[in-house]
Amino acid sequence: MDLEAAVAALNPDAPDAGALADAAAHADRIADESPAVAQLARTIARTLRGIGDGLVQPHHAQWRLASATFTLAQERAHEAPSAVALAGAVLDLETLFAPLPDSPAPPTAADADIIHPANLIRRRD
């Protein structure tokens, strides 16, 4: 089964872990065979595994995966794949791994209760 068919068969309400693993393995094989599209193929594999592991929401991933697999197929057919199209597809999938807008932001140094550079700390007597 090709990647486009595997993504089209993805049921976002009940993803099949075996089918996701098979599709991810297929994407890895494409990455090994085609260095020009390897980054996109590996990102597709990572996304498919993320769905299987519960790290990526399948409803949001399915249409992005459909677009990415279509781009992958098109770019594999060209003698000179478009770096811009490949990078755009990778970026689109990578957004699935970013924190959700309603999730709390990770704490920063500015959020700390006390911020003192070591050279400004003085002993109190």
**Position 27 in a domain:** yes
Is residue 85 assigned to a domain? yes
pLDDT at 98: 75
Would you state the pLDDT for residue 13? 94
What H or E segment, with its residue span, contains residue 75?
helix 58-77
Confidence (pLDDT) at 2 = 87
How many domains does the chain divide into?
1
Residue with the larger pLDDT of the pair 108 and 85 = 85
Residue 116 in tokens: 């003192």
How far is it, in rounded angstroms, from Cα 1 to Cα 98? 29
pTM above 0.95, yes or no: no
- Encode pLDDT of 36-64 as tens digits: 999 999 999 999 999 999 989 999 999 99
The answer to whether residue 116 is domain-embedded is no
Averaged pLDDT for residues 26-37? 94
Would you say residue 112 lies in a domain?
no
